Structure 1
Amino acid sequence: MRLFLCEKPSQGRDIAKVLGATRRGDGCLIGTETTVTWCIGHLLETAPPEAYGDQYKTWSLDHLPIIPVQWRVEVKPKTAAQFKVIKRLLNEASTVVIATDADREGEMIARELLELCNYRGPIQRLWLSALNEASIRKAMSSLKSGLETFPLYHSALARSRADWLIGMNLSRLFTLLGRRAGYDGVLSVGRVQTPTLRLVVDRDRAIASFVSVPYWGVDVHLSSMGQPFIASWLPPSSGTDEAGRCLLQALASRTVQAISSNESATVLSLQTEHFREAPPLPFDLSTLQEVCSRKLGLGAQETLNIAQALYETHKATSYPRSDCRYLPESMFNEVPTVFDALLKTDSALRPALGSLDLSLHSRVWNDAKVTAHHGIIPTTEPANLARMSEQERQVYELIRSHYLVQFLPHHEFDRTQVELKCGEERLTAVGKQIQVQGWKDLLHDAAEEDEFGQKSQVLPVLQQGAQCAVNDVELKSMHTAAPKPLTEGDLIKAMKNVAKLVNEPRLKQKLRDTTGIGTEATRAGIIKGLIDRGYLLKKKRALMASAAAHTLIEAVPVAVADPGMTAIWEQALDEIEAGRLSLDAFVAKQANWIAQLIARYRSLTLAMPIEAGPACPICNASMLRRKGKSGPFWSCSHYPDCKGTVPIRKETRRP
Structure 2
Amino acid sequence: MILYLCEKPSQGRDIGRVLGATSRHEGYVAGAGVCVTWCIGHLMEMVAPDGYRPEWKSWRLDTLPIIPQQWQLELTARGRKQFKVIQGLLKGVTEVVLATDADREGETIGREVLERCQYRGKISRLWLSALDDASIRKALGNLLPGEQTEPLYQAGLGRSRADWMVGMNLTRAYTLLGRQGGYAGVLSVGRVQTPTLKLVVDRDRLIENFKPVDYFEIFALHRVHSGTFIAKWVPPPKPCDAEGHCLDRTLAETVIHKVQGHSGTITKAETKRVKEPPPLPLELSTLQQEASRRWGMGAKQTLEIAQSLYEKHKAVTYPRTDCRYLPSNQFKEAPAVLQGLTTNDASLTPLVEGADAQLRSKAWNDKKITAHHAIIPTAAKINIDALSREEALLYDLIRRHYLAQFYPPFEYDRTVIDTQVAMETFHATGRVELIPGWKRVLAANQEKKEGDEDEQTLPVVRSGEAATIEGAELKQKQTKPPNRYTEGTLIQAMKSVGKLVEDARLRKILRETSGIGTEATRAAILETLIKRNLLAKQGKKSLVSMPAGRLLVDALPHSVTDPATTAVWEQTLDDIAHGGGSLETFLAKSELWLNKLIHNVHQRQQLGLNPFRGLPPSTSHTDPAQPTPRRQRRSKAEVTPTPNAAPLCPQCGGPMLQRKSPQGAFWSCAEQATCTGTRPGSPLAAHSPLMQPNPERGPLCPKCQQAPLVQRTAYRGKNSGQPFWGCQRYPQCRYTQASQTTES
**TM-score bin (small chain):** over 0.9
Local SS of the residue matching 1:105:
helix
Residue 627 (structure 1) aligned to one of 658, 666, 669: 658
Question: How high is the sequence identity, in percent, across the aligned residues?
Answer: 48
Report the alpha carbon displacement of residue 573 of structure 1 after superposing the two structures with TM: 0.7
Residue 11 of structure 2: aligned partner? 11
Contact 1:192 1:518 in 2 (8 A): yes
Report the alpha carbon displacement of residue 225 of structure 1 after superposing the two structures with TM: 4.8
Report the alpha carbon displacement of residue 581 of structure 1 after superposing the two structures with TM: 0.5
Residue 387 of structure 2: aligned partner? 388
Local SS of the residue matching 1:442:
helix
Local SS of the residue matching 2:379:
coil
- CA gap 1:339/1:67 in 2 versus in 1, 3 angstroms: same
Residue 42 of structure 1: aligned partner? 42
Report the alpha carbon displacement of residue 112 of structure 1 after superposing the two structures with TM: 0.7
Contact 1:626 1:635 in 2 (8 A): no
Contact 2:187 2:532 in 1 (8 A): no
In the aligned structure 1, how far is the partner of 2:50 from the partner of 2:658?
23
| Gap regions ≥5 residues in structure 1 | 617-623, 646-655
Residue 275 of structure 2: aligned partner? 276
Query: Where do residues 171-570 of structure 1 align in structure 2 (5 Å cutoff)?
Result: 171-225=171-225, 227-260=227-260, 262=261, 264-444=263-443, 448-450=447-449, 453-539=452-538, 540-570=540-570
- CA gap 1:275/1:94 in 2 versus in 1, 3 angstroms: same
- CA gap 1:100/1:583 in 2 versus in 1, 3 angstroms: same
Residue 606 of structure 1: aligned partner? 610
Q: Which moved more, 1:157-166 or 1:447-456?
A: 447-456
User: Which whole-Å deviations, capped at 9, do the CAs of 1:466-517 have from their partners, x for residues lacking one?
Assistant: 3345343221111000110001111111111121111223322332312211
In the aligned structure 2, how far is the partner of 1:41 from the partner of 1:446?
35
Report the alpha carbon displacement of residue 628 of structure 1 after superposing the two structures with TM: 3.7
* Larger-gyration structure (1/2): 2
Contact 1:613 1:625 in 2 (8 A): no
In the aligned structure 2, how far is the partner of 1:521 from the partner of 1:212?
39
In the aligned structure 2, how far is the partner of 1:547 from the partner of 1:87?
49
Contact 1:625 1:634 in 2 (8 A): no
In the aligned structure 2, how far is the partner of 1:342 from the partner of 1:239?
57
Residue 571 of structure 2: aligned partner? 571
Residue 79 of structure 2: aligned partner? 79
Local SS of the residue matching 1:241:
coil
In the aligned structure 2, how far is the partner of 1:392 from the partner of 1:446?
16
Local SS of the residue matching 1:432:
strand
The one-letter code matched in structure 2 to 1:337 is: A
Local SS of the residue matching 1:475:
strand
Report the alpha carbon displacement of residue 634 of structure 1 after superposing the two structures with TM: 6.2
Report the alpha carbon displacement of residue 330 of structure 1 after superposing the two structures with TM: 0.8
In the aligned structure 1, how far is the partner of 2:645 from the partner of 2:29?
67
Residue 107 of structure 1: aligned partner? 107
Local SS of the residue matching 1:77:
coil
Report the alpha carbon displacement of residue 613 of structure 1 after superposing the two structures with TM: 4.5
Q: Does 1:142 align with 2:142?
A: yes
The one-letter code matched in structure 1 to 2:406 is: F
In the aligned structure 1, how far is the partner of 2:565 from the partner of 2:422?
56
Contact 2:180 2:645 in 1 (8 A): no
Q: Which moved more, 1:327-336 or 1:88-97?
A: 88-97
- CA gap 1:559/1:233 in 2 versus in 1, 3 angstroms: same
Contact 1:184 1:627 in 2 (8 A): no
Contact 2:4 2:99 in 1 (8 A): yes
Q: Which moved more, 1:364-373 or 1:233-242?
A: 233-242
Report the alpha carbon displacement of residue 93 of structure 1 after superposing the two structures with TM: 3.0
In the aligned structure 2, how far is the partner of 1:455 from the partner of 1:75?
61
In the aligned structure 2, how far is the partner of 1:276 from the partner of 1:634?
76
Residue 170 of structure 2: aligned partner? 170
Q: Does 1:25 align with 2:22?
A: no
Contact 2:194 2:553 in 1 (8 A): yes
Contact 2:183 2:612 in 1 (8 A): yes
User: Which whole-Å deviations, capped at 9, do the CAs of 1:323-373 have from their partners, x for residues lacking one?
Assistant: 111111111111111111111011122211222222112211111111121
Report the alpha carbon displacement of residue 625 of structure 1 after superposing the two structures with TM: 8.2
Residue 720 of structure 2: aligned partner? none
In the aligned structure 2, how far is the partner of 1:501 from the partner of 1:459?
39
The one-letter code matched in structure 2 to 1:552 is: L
Q: Which moved more, 1:627-636 or 1:361-370?
A: 627-636
Residue 620 of structure 1: aligned partner? none
Local SS of the residue matching 2:90:
helix
User: Which whole-Å deviations, capped at 9, do the CAs of 1:269-295 have from their partners, x for residues lacking one?
Assistant: 223333322211111111111122112
- CA gap 1:150/1:615 in 2 versus in 1, 3 angstroms: closer
Contact 1:450 1:456 in 2 (8 A): no
| Gap regions ≥5 residues in structure 2 | 616-642, 648-654, 668-680, 694-699, 707-744
The one-letter code matched in structure 2 to 1:222 is: H
- CA gap 1:614/1:69 in 2 versus in 1, 3 angstroms: closer
Q: Which moved more, 1:447-456 or 1:154-163?
A: 447-456
In the aligned structure 1, how far is the partner of 2:461 from the partner of 2:226?
12
The one-letter code matched in structure 1 to 2:443 is: H
Contact 1:3 1:37 in 2 (8 A): yes
Contact 1:177 1:602 in 2 (8 A): no
Please give the TM-score of this superposition, normalised by the length of structure 2. Answer: 0.82
Contact 1:183 1:625 in 2 (8 A): no
Contact 2:181 2:646 in 1 (8 A): no
In the aligned structure 2, how far is the partner of 1:328 from the partner of 1:485?
37
The one-letter code matched in structure 1 to 2:614 is: I
Please give the TM-score of this superposition, normalised by the length of structure 1. Answer: 0.93
Q: Which has the higher helix share?
A: 1
User: Which whole-Å deviations, capped at 9, do the CAs of 1:378-409 have from their partners, x for residues lacking one?
Assistant: 11222221110111111111111111111111
User: CA RMSD, aligned part only?
Assistant: 2.4
- CA gap 1:353/1:225 in 2 versus in 1, 3 angstroms: farther
